[in-house]
Structure 1
Amino acid sequence: MIHFENVGLRYGMGPEILRDMTFDIPKRSFQFLTGPSGAGKTTLLRLLFMSLHPTRGIIHMFGRDLSQIPRAELPMLRRRVGIVFQDFRLLDHLTTYENVALPLRVRGKEESSYRNDVIELLKWVGLGERINVLPAVLSGGEKQRAAIARALMDQPEILLADEPTGNVDPPMARRLLSLFLELNRLGTAVVIATHDLALMDQVDARRMILTEGRLDIYE
Structure 2
Amino acid sequence: MIHFENVGLRYGMGPEILRDLTFDIPRRSFQFLTGPSGAGKTTLLRLLFLSLQPTRGIIRTFDREISTIPRDELPMLRRRIGIVFQDFRLLDHLTTYENVALPLRVRGKEESSYRADVLELLKWVGLGERINVLPPVLSGGEKQRAAIARALIDRPEMLLADEPTGNVDPPMARRLLSLFLELNRLGTAVVIATHDLSLMDQVEARRMILSQGRLDIYD
SS in 2 for 1:182: helix
- 1:213 partner letter: G
Which residue in the other structure is 1:209 paired with?
209
The whole-number CA distance in structure 2 between the counterparts of 1:32 and 1:7 is 19
1:169 aligns with 2:201: no
| Residue-pair matches, total | 219
1:38 aligns with 2:25: no
What is the TM-score normalised by the length of structure 1? 1.00
The whole-number CA distance in structure 2 between the counterparts of 1:95 and 1:209 is 37
**For 1:151-162, what aligned pairs fall within 5 Å after superposition?**
151-162=151-162
Which residue in the other structure is 2:51 paired with?
51
The whole-number CA distance in structure 1 between the counterparts of 2:4 and 2:135 is 36
Which residue in the other structure is 2:104 paired with?
104
1:198 aligns with 2:189: no
Give per-residue Cα distances to partners, 1:38-73, cap 9 Å, x unaligned: 000000000000000000000000000000000000
The whole-number CA distance in structure 1 between the counterparts of 2:176 and 2:207 is 18
Which residue in the other structure is 1:65 paired with?
65
SS in 1 for 2:120: helix
Give per-residue Cα distances to partners, 1:139-160, cap 9 Å, x unaligned: 0000000000000001000000
The whole-number CA distance in structure 1 between the counterparts of 2:67 and 2:145 is 34
SS in 2 for 1:114: helix
Give per-residue Cα distances to partners, 1:139-184, cap 9 Å, x unaligned: 0000000000000001000000000000000000000000000000
1:119 aligns with 2:99: no
1:130 aligns with 2:130: yes
1:90 aligns with 2:90: yes
The whole-number CA distance in structure 2 between the counterparts of 1:210 and 1:31 is 13
The whole-number CA distance in structure 2 between the counterparts of 1:26 and 1:68 is 22
The whole-number CA distance in structure 2 between the counterparts of 1:155 and 1:185 is 12
CA RMSD of aligned residues (A): 0.2
Which residue in the other structure is 1:142 paired with?
142
- 1:197 partner letter: L
- 1:53 partner letter: Q
Runs (4+) of structure 1 exceeding 2 A deviation are none
Give per-residue Cα distances to partners, 1:116-159, cap 9 Å, x unaligned: 11001000000011000100110000000000000000100000
SS in 2 for 1:20: strand
CA-CA distance at 1:20 after TM superposition: 0.2
1:183 aligns with 2:145: no
Give per-residue Cα distances to partners, 1:90-118, cap 9 Å, x unaligned: 00000000000000000000000000110
What is the TM-score normalised by the length of structure 2? 1.00
- 1:87 partner letter: D
